[in-house]
Amino acid sequence: SQTIHQWPATLVQPVGSPLSLECTVEGTSNPNLYWYRQAAGRGLQLLFYSVGIGQISSEVPQNLSASRPQDRQFILSSKKLLLSDSGFYLCAWEDYLAGGNEQFFGPGTRLTVL
């Protein structure tokens, strides 16, 4: 069966520090991968998506970047965090070829930038 992992679960970082959040998927091949950010009590904002290794599409211009070095690994990074980067970050995968469009979410990382 498929599983998705995200870490860390929580993170407190000072303004200006770098960031690296990792997401890995098991039990599937060539998934579409997504990074979302959710502000408290709000909906999901799509940040990046990837349809294959090394292929990244950015939805929102910001100081964040994403990389997909392996088929089932998706990394969200920043060189210098801003206060506004605080939020709940969710990774998700989708088997696009299956045609269902259902997304499977990881447990999320709560980031607080101080």
Partner 1 sequence: SQQGEEDPQALSIQEGENATMNCSYKTSINNLQWYRQNSGRGLVHLILIRSNEREKHSGRLRVTLDTSKKSSSLLITASRAADTASYFCATDFGGFKTIFGAGTRLFVKA
- Binding to partner 1 (CB under 8 A) within 55-114 occurs at 57, 59, 88, 90, 92, 94, 96, 100-108, 110
Selected range binding partner 1 among 12-20, 44-52, 64-72, 78-86, rule: CB under 8 A: 44-52
Burial class of 76 by CB neighbour count within 10 A (0 to 12, 13 to 18, 19+)? buried
Give the x/- contact pattern for partner 1 in 2-31, rule: CB under 8 A: ------------------------------
Residue of the chain from 14, 29, 41, 83 that contacts partner 1 (CB under 8 A): 41
Q: Which is nearer to partner 1, 19 or 47 (CB)?
A: 47
Q: Which is nearer to partner 1, 41 or 61 (CB)?
A: 41
Element of type H or E holding 77: strand 73-78
At residue 99's C-alpha, the angle toward residues 94 and 104, to 5°, is 25
Amino acid identity, position 91: C
2-37 burial code (b ≥16 CB/10 A, e <16): eebebeeeebebeeeeebebebbbeebeebbbbbbb
Contacting positions for partner 1 (CB under 8 A): 32, 36, 41-44, 46, 49, 51, 57, 59, 88, 90, 92, 94, 96, 100-108, 110
